[in-house]
Structure 1
Amino acid sequence: MRIALVNGSPKGGASNSGILLEKLKPLIAEGNELNAYRVNVKPLKPEQYRELNEADVLVLAFPLYFDAIPSHLLRAMVEMEKFRQQEPGNRELIVYALINNGFYEGHQCKIAADIVSNWCSRCGFRFGMAIGHGAGEMFKSLSRVPLGKGPLKNLGKAMDQLSAAILTRSSAGSLFIQPNFPRIAWRLAATHSFWHAQAKKNGLRPKDLRRQPFQVSRNGNQG
């Protein structure tokens, strides 16, 4: 079975989408042909669209952008739809999605999953399922944590269901999850380890992040 793994992160190097795909690979590699694709600032080539169109399974991994799909990946999806109209390709192609977002709650990814499902209908693909994971920025620090252990316990269970669906080319209900990590601890870690560090890197202090340059008066006007 030919499985195309598409990393739709706009980052040029390591990415959370890439981490998710790496954790998925061992679960679906045996007996299958895995082909990796990267969609960012560089557009896909015509032969790559043909390869994707002829695959048996397509896995899209991407970060959430404004509750939707990053524009560069959306552009590639539109181009693939056009390509599909010219060359039917594999009529049994089935699509799965791995979505991560910076909010804690995984259900923030639901709209993006619906967009992928609607796109499948337009292209004549079958939509398999999606995993929407919250607190995506934690993945880098958890990259060495075994799947299904500690903070990645929920992700391990979800990946087992996703891999089972992929290996049988079947559909299942989408899953929207978050790490097994207290929300308050996640918020504190994000504030002190990410936002404050980014502020310092840009010559700012933590109190600068709390400034309100546009004050709202009691009558609702900004002044």
Structure 2
Amino acid sequence: MKIAIIDGSPKSKDSASSFFIKKLEPMISSENEISHYNISKKPLVSEQYQELCRMDALIFAFPLYIDAIPSHLFRMLATLEEYIKKECQKTIYVYAIINNGFYEGKQNHIAIKILQNWCMRTGLQFGQAIGQGAGEMMHFVEKVPLGHGPLKNLGENLNHLADTINSHNTGATIVFSPNFPRFAWKFNAVHFFWNQSAKKNGLRKKDILRRL
């Protein structure tokens, strides 16, 4: 089976999406042929869109942007739709890993629905999607073994997704949060992420809270 993994993060490196891709890829059967596409580094050209039309499966990994799909990925999907309708001669399955900055993974449900509707419009088969909450937290726990501690839910659900992909089948949508207390996630996000980022940019804590 020919599989395309598409990194749809606006970040060219060190994104949560790339983190999920690195965790998922070893779970995909070595019998499959995998190609990688990173649309933030360089827009796809005609030959690459034609390549995607010949795939058996497309795996998208991207972050939630205003409860939807990032605009650059949306443009890519619109262009790919045109190529598929003209050139695709087989059923392509679509899978997705979506992450968001909120703690609750259920925030991803609208983006998942958008991707499902795009598949219906384009004539593709929607396979399965998983939605992880607290995506920005992943790089802080990347040394934790997958399937343990705060990554327990992620490990289980990536395994579900990998099984669905390897069997070239469909599965239920799964949305979930990390195995980490919400109050602890909020405390760490404020004190070790937002406040530190503000400080690096010459701002104080009260600047963040100030209303315009």
Q: Aligned partners of 2:206, 2:66: CA distance in 1, in Å?
A: 27
Give the equivalent residue in structure 1 for 2:43: 43
Gaps of 5+ in 2: none
User: Normalised by the size of structure 1, how large is the TM-score?
Assistant: 0.92
Q: Aligned partners of 1:123, 1:53: CA distance in 2, in Å?
A: 12
Question: Displaced runs of 4+ in structure 1, greater than 4 A?
Answer: none
Aligned-partner SS, 2:43: coil
Give the equivalent residue in structure 2 for 1:189: 188
Give the equivalent residue in structure 2 for 1:7: 7
Q: Deviations over 1:170-215 (max 9, x none)?
A: 11110000100000000000000111001101111112212223xx
Q: Report the aligned-residue RMSD.
A: 1.0
How far apart are residue 56 of structure 1 and its match?
Answer: 0.8
Give the equivalent residue in structure 2 for 1:26: 26
Aligned-pair identity in percent equals 50
The 5 Å alignment of 1:52-91 reads 52-89=52-89, 91=90
Aligned-partner SS, 1:139: helix
User: Normalised by the size of structure 2, how large is the TM-score?
Assistant: 0.97
How far apart are residue 42 of structure 1 and its match?
Answer: 2.8
Contact residue 129 and residue 172 of structure 1 kept, 8 A: yes
Gaps of 5+ in 1: 214-223
Contact residue 130 and residue 175 of structure 2 kept, 8 A: yes
The 5 Å alignment of 1:130-141 reads 130-141=129-140
Q: Aligned partners of 1:209, 1:13: CA distance in 2, in Å?
A: 27
How far apart are residue 29 of structure 1 and its match?
Answer: 3.8
Q: Aligned partners of 2:53, 2:141: CA distance in 1, in Å?
A: 33
Q: Aligned partners of 1:71, 1:212: CA distance in 2, in Å?
A: 28
Contact residue 17 and residue 61 of structure 1 kept, 8 A: yes
Q: Aligned partners of 1:170, 1:66: CA distance in 2, in Å?
A: 30
Mark the structure with the bigger radius of gyration. 1
